[in-house]
A and B are shown apart, each in its own frame.
Chain A
Amino acid sequence: MASVTLTVNGKQVTATVDPRTLLAQFLRENLHLTGTHVGCDTSQCGACVVHVNGRAVKSCTTLAVSCDGASVTTIEGIGTPDNLHPMQTAFRENHGLQCGFCTPGMIMSAIDIVNRKGNKLDEHTIREELEGNICRCTGYHNIVKAVAQGAAAMK
């Protein structure tokens, strides 16, 4: 067993875990933060994207112990139904989600895209940057619109 200390959504947590515990597992099972989803286990679909020290990371293939000392932000940490993050608002206003399973990862990736690429994003850039997130419901049409609106609103 190994000890790991993280700051998750602003709160410090320390736990003793099986060293093979993945970050996604730790968030979901130890902390009950079930907004982070596991869709593929191979870093392909992006449903598990969280921010580690401000950068988008696929938590399904990251060991929890490798994040010792890091600051982790999950979908639960960016906004609430009463106080939504602009990117969350944009996904809702543009019907950028259907079943909702990929949505937390999409939103976390989208915020990361804005952090890296700025607030003015064209369709081509958004589509290229969303390469690491799979959605089976929306055909991406409305997700692309949502990311553009969310990016502008994050200014």
Chain B
Amino acid sequence: MSAKTGVGAPVLRKEDFRFITGKGQYTDDINRQDQAYAYFLRSPHAHANIKKLDISAAQKAPGVLGVLTGDDLAADKIGGLICGWMIHNKDGSPMKAGAHPALAQGKVRYVGDHVAVVIADTYAQAKDAAEKIIVDYQVLPAVVDMNKAKSAGAIHDVAPDNVVYDWHLGDKAATDAAFSKAKHVTKIDLVNNRLIPNAMEPRAAIGDFDSGTGVYTLYTTSQNPHVARLVLSAFVGIAPEHKLRVIAPDVGGGFGSKIFIYAEETVCVWASKKVGRPVKWTADRTEAFLSDAHGRDHISHAELALDDKGKILGLRVKTKANLGAYLSTFSSCVPTYLYAPLLSGQYDIPAIYAEVEGIYTTTAPVDAYRGAGRPEATFLIERIIEKAARETGSDPAMFRRKNFIKSFPHQTPVIMAYDTGNYTASLDLALEMADYKNFAKRKKDSAKNGKLRGIGFSAYIEACGIAPSAAVGSLGAGVGLWESAEIRVNPVGTVEVLTGSHSHGQGHETTFAQLVADRLGIDIDSVAVVHGDTDKVQFGMGTYGSRSGAVGMSAIVKAVDKVIAKGKKVAAYALEAAEKDIQFKDGRFSVAGTDKSLAFGEVALQAYIAHKFNGQDLEPGLKEGAFYDPTNFTFPSGVHICEVEIDPDTGTTDIVKWTAVDDFGNVINPMIVEGQVHGGIAQGVGQALLEGAHYNADGQLVTASYMDYTMPRADDLPSFDVGMTNTPCTTNPLGIKGCGEAGAIAAPPAVINAITDAVGHEDVPMPATPYAVWQACQKGARKLAAE
């Protein structure tokens, strides 16, 4: 195996050629013969009863093939969209989930909710016709503020106080006891700002019903096409799985927002049979802002109990989580089981108690966005740790070091059992790379120029490799979270890797090929990766939660091991030796102690021609599959240090240095891993400085285009110094932990800790826009003057 393309090498990406030459095939690039176009009429109101819906004029408009409504869905017995994770209240009762029809049935619950769909020969005709639909709305009060939601009037009848669940985790009595012994208690109130994922490719779908075979095909922008098929078959009831093919071709970014099964995709595939033509829909950007599942949106109060030596005794957390108007596919687990189990961070905390209320509001559904619950947990723990260090006069690095978990495995009081880690090693390297010891001098130099300099730490942990099926099942998940792989060896020894993971930027066509080529000792160009088509890959759970390496690749190596085992049997016949004497190394099967050997490709040929063995004793062919179910989550961790310089006159924050040290365990391709870190940090900095979804009191989304919602641009960001430590994961065969979300998890508290350090007080909101920072500077100046 060439060292240039083996595991650990920064191999350039195989998939790049089509993307850099404009030959990628994204969903909107696909066109089906005779395809029609869908346009969705969306609610202009946050909350309203539909008294009357008159579609007659639209039906007669030029080019219109059909106008479909919630009544048509009901008549066809098409079920509602589902939430796949049951959360139980403190008292053991189940959460209150309202129905979620793909097209409104009598009521709309957020601006952008789907009222009707018009299907026409052209998109322009469909859009024009939608203006002829007459809707008589009885407007109801919008419910935007989580703090007022309980008395604002029910959005769903099943939840009269708009509380979906009132959930808790941890030991309340033990935590209360820890606080009763505390010498110091640090308290903090935090808002984790609402974000809109904004993958650059808007969501799109083509539904295509073949009346000859009775098979539906859905081309869609999905991170997990098999899960989409499962939901559309088993729950929505479009067609049984063998009559529904879901293809997720090239997908232009996901960040969580393309995990979910949405109304538009559902309607397009259903409507293709209704109108007898393929139906295409592509979101414009404002539709994406309105209807993609949003992320974050927590209000929290937290308290940290310390003893007289600054050791943490306990943590108490109370969080309100906005779930939007409907429960999206995995929304319920994000502020519960993906959040509270991470509240121990990297710290040895003897007692933790967390309470979370999930709240319905008349806003877009909120679900997983890069990190999903873990950024919220990390923001909380890293902000309160920083504040505690400041209040007790401790150096923030020293304070963290003192409280780090130092022996493994470590059982936290909130479910998680960390298998391994070396938090001190990441901190040491980060301090050195950031030149922390000379920070005070840099701060003085900035002050001479009238600038405020600050430094902020974030020592994050995340739980990736989602997840052991039995464990998530016991916590309420409706699915298992294993992954599948199949290795098909062709007679000439080239290999197809079929994976249930899905690549939408992660570079699986390169990294998975790197792994398989390395293991089989063949050329990387002899390996092709196949994904994203339910007709090709038998099943898979898809890509999210940094699971494709830890879970998806583990399934691949399991299948590769089976191929090698079968190859040894074939080689034993071909080389006329005992199977136990066959060794496989560097792409050759050889007989131990002899010079007899066959290359991998030669054995593949022998397997297919089956001349040297009896096909009854050994099956011909060389193809193996595997399902890998992890035994634990993986726990990537690291330390990010952000250094900022603020102009107090303008409130502008300049990130002057970013140091990232991450421990992802073993790495397949460091170039791709670093790219994931860069992108994650950019999204985290976006949350900290720029991005915020804002609904006004009427429930109108006022940040619904790139002219209103501030995306990070090249001139908002610095280059990043990325370092790595390696403590291999002990619970999967590759020692991989996962890298996809780390930056987005680590970055926000690092930025806010740096800004609060610079301005000298804790009162800085996210996003810390220039106006917010300017206000914080004014307050800081007043505080200094008063002292």
Contact = CB atoms under 8 A, between A and B. Distances in A.
Interface in A135-149: 135-144
Main secondary structure of the interface of A (DSSP, over half): loop
Q: How large is the interface on B (under 10, 10 to 19, 20 to 34, 35 or more residues)?
A: 35 or more
B476 to A, nearest CB: 31
B770 interface: no
A42 B682 CA distance: 22
A26 interface: no
A40 B705 contact: yes
Most chain B CB atoms below 10 A, which of A36, A40, A44: A40
B679 A74 contact: no
B715 interface: yes
B251 A143 contact: no
B369 to A, nearest CB: 12
B675 interface: yes
Given A75-B21, A92-B16, A126 B714 contact: yes
B21 A128 contact: no
Most chain A CB atoms below 10 A, which of B13, B15, B19: B19
B367 interface: no
A95 to B, nearest CB: 5
A42 B705 contact: yes
Nearest to A99: B505
Given A44-B707, A136-B679, A97 B714 contact: no
A98 B507 contact: yes
Contact of B20 (A18, A97, A99, A133): A97
Given A39-B285, A92-B20, A95-B672, A139 B682 contact: yes
Contacts of A38: 28, 202
Interface string B483-512: 000000000000000000000111100000
Contacts of A28: 28-29
Contacts of A130: 713-715
Interface in B4-43: 12-13, 15-26, 28-29, 31
B253 A136 contact: yes
A131 B22 CA distance: 22
Given A99-B201, A137-B253, A76 B22 contact: yes
A100 B505 contact: yes
Given A47-B200, A141-B719, A81 B713 contact: no
Nearest to A128: B715
Interface stretch (A64-72, A102-110, A114-122): A102-110
Nearest to A18: B124
Interface in A11-68: 18, 20, 28, 32-42, 44-45, 47
Nearest to B29: A34
Interface string B681-722: 111000000000000000000000111000111110101100
A42 B289 CA distance: 13
B253 A41 contact: no
Given A39-B285, A134-B711, A139-B743, A98 B253 contact: yes
Interface in B319-335: none
Contacts of A144: 714, 719
Contacts of B19: 97, 100, 103-104
A142 B675 contact: yes
Contact of B706 (A42, A107, A142): A42
A139 B255 CA distance: 14
Most chain A CB atoms below 10 A, which of B201, B250, B251, B681: B201
B302 interface: no
B71 interface: no
B469 to A, nearest CB: 29
A99 B706 contact: no
Contact of B200 (A42, A79, A102): A102
Nearest to B17: A81
Most chain B CB atoms below 10 A, which of A28, A81, A98: A98
B671 interface: yes
Interface in B185-204: 198-202
B200 A136 contact: yes
Contacts of A47: 200
A134 B201 CA distance: 11
Given A81-B17, A138-B679, A100 B250 contact: yes
Contacts of A40: 285, 705-706
A126 B719 CA distance: 12
B289 to A, nearest CB: 10
Contacts of A20: 124
A141 B253 CA distance: 17
Given A41-B285, A136-B253, A142 B678 contact: yes
Nearest to B24: A100
B237 to A, nearest CB: 32
Contacts of B253: 98-99, 101, 136-137
B714 A131 contact: yes
B252 interface: yes
Contacts of B683: 136, 139
B714 A140 contact: yes
Contacts of B504: 99
Nearest to B253: A99
A49 B743 CA distance: 29
A99 B25 CA distance: 11
Given A101-B252, A107-B20, A37 B714 contact: no
Contact of A35 (B21, B675, B679, B706): B21
B284 A41 contact: yes
Contact of A95 (B671, B705, B707, B717): B671
24 contacts: A34-B22, A35-B24, A41-B284, A41-B286, A42-B707, A44-B711, A76-B21, A88-B21, A92-B17, A98-B253, A98-B507, A99-B251, A100-B252, A101-B199, A104-B20, A127-B714, A128-B715, A134-B706, A135-B200, A137-B679, A139-B678, A139-B712, A140-B713, A141-B720
Interface of A: 18, 20, 28, 32-42, 44-45, 47, 74-76, 79-81, 84, 88, 91-93, 95, 97-104, 107, 123, 126-128, 130-131, 133-144
Q: Which 8 A-B residue pairs are closest in the complex by CB-CB distance?
A: A35-B22, A100-B19, A101-B252, A139-B682, A99-B505, A44-B706, A75-B22, A98-B505
